[in-house]
Homo-oligomer: A and B are copies of this chain.
Amino acid sequence: MTVAYALDVATSTIFTQIRVLLRWKGSVWKATWIELIIWLIMYFILSVIYRIMLNKWQREVFEKLCTFFDTFSVFIPVTFMLGFYVTIVYNRWSRVFDNVGWIDTSALTIAQYIRGTSERARIIRRNCVRYLIVAQCLVFRDVSPPIRKRFPTLNHLVEAGLLSKEELEEFDSIKSPQSKYWQPIQWLFCLVTQAREEGMIDNYFLYVDLIEKMRDFRTKILNLIIFDMVPIPLVYTQVVNLAVRMYFVLALFGRQFLDEDKNIPGAKFKIDLYFPIMTSLQIIFIIGWHKVSEVMLNPLGEDDEDFETHWIIERNLQVGYAVVDQAYDRCPPIVRDPFWE
């Protein structure tokens, strides 16, 4: 589930920032602590080796190396790359959420256009909702690892009650080398045709509008497949990834405190703090910034910020049935409203 903190920031006061900083789930602390500790351990090992184990000549070489890496680390344009890369990843991420697929519009339209209180009408309305969700499940299985785990085969959909045995047989009876996300939609359209023929839909006008709304739902979830097929080019992800990591590998050397600092040409002034506090901060900022893009690269995965696909399907099922069945044609009495003059 995405980490909601909107209420924390509803008003911008002096404490807003502190409240936001103290969160753990989905936080920069959780995202960076492992890498920070690994880096610190390696830094201290190097530091100890330099201070204790090296002889004078070795120290001189080490010092030159450190100064060299320190000087030339500006060659790696880390912040610049991150600024542009994170913006691109963010835009893609928010487009994914526009296409996640909420049943509400479809369900309300089904309840409004397919009329009738007979059992047959109820069955058709309920199945319409169910088929939409089955299509969504088929798509989610291919783009969202948690749904894949829950429904490794289509039989698991039958077990979960989303599909009947007969439907699975019918599904399997059409052979195709391609994914058949379209098949539940075709069943759905079949149901609509049936409903029209049996007079539950008054008019071809309503019929076309209903098909249109269902198609919208389908187009949206299909977009998820396309987003999945066309990720940010791998080379971009790699370049940014590599630049960030390599920057800190070089910093292992470049940020060491060196005894004879002042005498080494090109070396910057440092003081012997034992703990590399500035670089630790930098790791939190830069790695943290990079993590923003990592958690957003596959928005339907299992990161803290990822969308809980389980919950979406569960919700769609509950809301869908409630709209087309429980609440069908229920309405408060039509009387004067409280403001009536």
- B contact residues around A284 at 8 Å (CB): 239, 242
Which residues of A73-114 are within 8 A (CB) of B?
75-77, 79-81, 83-84, 86-88, 90, 92, 94, 97, 102, 104-105, 107-109, 111-112
Is the Cβ of A337 less than 8 Å from the Cβ of B164? Answer: yes
Is the Cβ of B237 less than 8 Å from the Cβ of A20? Answer: yes
Count residues on chain A whose CB falls below 8 Å from chain B CBs: 168
A72 in the interface (beta carbon within 8 A): yes
What copy number does this chain have within its complex?
Answer: 5
- Determine the distance from Cα of A256 to Cα of B192 in the docked complex, in whole angstroms: 75
- B contact residues around A273 at 8 Å (CB): 68
Is the Cβ of A235 less than 8 Å from the Cβ of B31? Answer: yes
Cross-interface CB contact of A305 among B67, B219, B235, B326, cutoff 8 Å: B235
Chain B residue with the shortest CB-CB distance to A23: B234
Is the Cβ of B211 less than 8 Å from the Cβ of A208? Answer: no
11 residue pairs A–B, Cβ–Cβ below 8 Å: A6-B231, A9-B298, A10-B298, A21-B238, A123-B334, A176-B318, A209-B212, A235-B305, A239-B284, A242-B288, A262-B265
> Given A2-B233, A239-B292, 16 other A-B contacts at CB below 8 A?
A3-B234, A4-B231, A10-B301, A12-B303, A67-B269, A75-B282, A76-B281, A76-B282, A92-B94, A107-B182, A111-B186, A127-B337, A130-B339, A180-B322, A265-B269, A317-B339
